[in-house]
Amino acid sequence: MKKIVLILFLAIIANAGYAQKAWINLFNGKDLKDWKVKINGHPLNDNYANTFRVENGVMKVSYDGYSEWKDRYGHIFYKKSFSAYVLVLEYRFTGEQIPGGPGWAVRNSGVMLHGQSPESMGLNQDFPISLETQFLGGNGKDERSTPNLCTPGTNVFLNVKLFTPHCVNSTSKTYHGDQWVKAEIVVLGDSLVIHRLEGKEVFKYTKPQIGGGSVSNFDPAVKIDGQALEEGSISLQSESHPVEFRNVKLFNLAKYMNDPAKLDAKLKGILE
């Protein structure tokens, strides 16, 4: 009997270990060694004024070392690119926006998906060509949905029609204050992207592709309008309001993409 119990115990431990390995912790809670920084007007990996930092297990975007904003839009890129995955992370806004930041950027940040590499960005490029899952915090009185979609240098399809405006809102409720908010994003190559909050779908779109505007000072060779976005970088944003990120992890779905039944089963297991 003891032997059977031991075998079952070892099996449980083995399965637990497998489950942990299936998820990739993009942020280790200790440092930024797996990330690359690109801030507008600064060369790659010049983390101006320690904008991106780690404190108490949290990745922070801070402007306490800035004397002025000067359009220093920044992004911190994970070291690898991905094509199909579930990305999970928690974020929260804190403090006050740096003076000089644009009005639309109050309690505003995001995660950029299917983006260009930081190495391919221009010195004075403001945003990577990418799909932005936009995070907004409430101002204490007005409705402000999250996570929305913004499209720097990209277009998508909504309801089987090409959608070219820059931003569109999700159906979520508003999150006021400095509370942590957990977001889940399902990305399936160039076919489908789904935004989820609190276990519920709040937005989705299809056929992401390069196109449109809302990005400046890019290399024209990188922006091939009409090209499908099948994969790309993942980056977190610095947009003039202090924000924090934690529990940033990813489940890679690439090996399931050629088997719809297995993909559907895996997604159900992850999201339920």
Domain positions in the chain are 24-271
**What percentage of the chain has pLDDT greater than the value 90?**
90
Confidence band of 22 (pLDDT split at 50, 70, 90): confident
Topology given in CATH for the domain delimited by 24-271: Jelly Rolls (2.60.120)
pLDDT, tens digit (0-9, with 9 covering 90-100), for 56-76: 999 999 999 999 999 999 999
Q: 111: which strand partners? A: 133, 236
CB burial readout 200-236, b (16+ within 10 A) else e: eebbebbbbbbbbebbeebeeebbeeeeebebbbbbb
pTM: 0.91
Q: Which residues contact 90 (CB under 8 A, 6 or more apart)?
A: 180, 181, 182, 183, 245, 246, 247
Q: Is the pLDDT of residue 1 over 60?
A: no
pLDDT, tens digit (0-9, with 9 covering 90-100), for 143-199: 999 999 999 999 999 999 999 999 999 999 999 999 999 999 999 999 999 999 989
CB 119 within 8 A of CB 239: no
- On the question of a cis peptide bond just before residue 118, with omega within 30 degrees of 0, the verdict is no
Question: For 31-57, what is the mean pLDDT?
Answer: 98
Question: What 3-state DSSP class applies to 122?
Answer: coil
Q: 163: which strand partners? A: 156
- Of the candidates 67, 107, 99, the one whose C-alpha atom is nearest the C-alpha of residue 239 is 107
CB 55 within 8 A of CB 240: no
Confidence band of 6 (pLDDT split at 50, 70, 90): very low
- Supply 248's token pair: 């940033």
pLDDT, position 21: 58
